[in-house]
């Protein structure tokens, strides 16, 4: 399936000079969405836990976890999760700082974790998530993306972790 045809280019969004890759057309096509989720499932069978970041990582990670009967763990923006959390500050693609949180004890010592997200750009978000997982004793064994922006070289930050991208642009 040619997935690139389901990705819209939106110039100057969210700011001038950025060529935003909109995945909405893919989400709006049931056949393309099912294809992507099932491909991600095929790459995720060895995981103990599927983890996805707020918000579009939820769109792909949750169905993958459900199909595999694996737990799904959310990584969210600051002050969106109840209870005890740990935090990690990181840089966004556009130079702004952000903070991610994960609930304490959602990842258990030695668990194999696969991170699923929509887009790999600079890798800053994924790098922060890997730090959060490792701080809880988990081991990220793979990261899976719908779309990888090759020119930003985010995969280089994954430091030996397998990176799978269904679309590489």
- Which residues have a catalytic role annotated? 56, 93
Total Cβ atoms within 10 A of residue 164:
18
CA distance 107 to 120: 23
Q: Other C-beta atoms within 10 Å of 163: how many? A: 18
What DSSP character marks residue 107? S
Alpha carbon distance 40, 90 (integer Å): 26
The string of DSSP codes covering 42-103 is: HT-TT-SEEEEETTHHHHHHHHHHHHHT--EEEEEETT-S-SSEEEEEEE-TTS-EEEEEEE
**Kind and range of the H or E element at 121?**
none
């Amino acid at each position: 399936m040619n997935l690139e045809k389901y990705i819209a280019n939106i110039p100057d969004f969210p700011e001038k000079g950025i060529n935003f890759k909109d995945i909405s057309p893919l989400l709006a096509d049931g056949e393309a969405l099912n294809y992507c989720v099932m491909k991600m499932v095929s790459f995720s069978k060895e995981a103990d836990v599927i983890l996805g970041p707020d918000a579009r990582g939820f769109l792909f990670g949750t169905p993958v976890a459900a199909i595999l009967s694996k737990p799904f763990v959310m990584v969210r923006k600051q002050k969106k999760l109840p209870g005890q959390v740990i935090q990690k500050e990181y840089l966004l693609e556009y130079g702004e700082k952000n903070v991610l949180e994960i609930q304490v004890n959602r990842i258990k010592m030695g668990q194999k974790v696969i991170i699923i997200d929509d887009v790999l750009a600079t890798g800053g978000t994924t790098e922060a998530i890997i730090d959060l997982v490792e701080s809880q004793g988990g081991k990220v064994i793979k990261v899976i993306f719908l779309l990888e922006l090759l020119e930003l070289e985010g995969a280089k930050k994954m430091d030996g972790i397998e990176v799978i991208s269904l679309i590489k642009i």
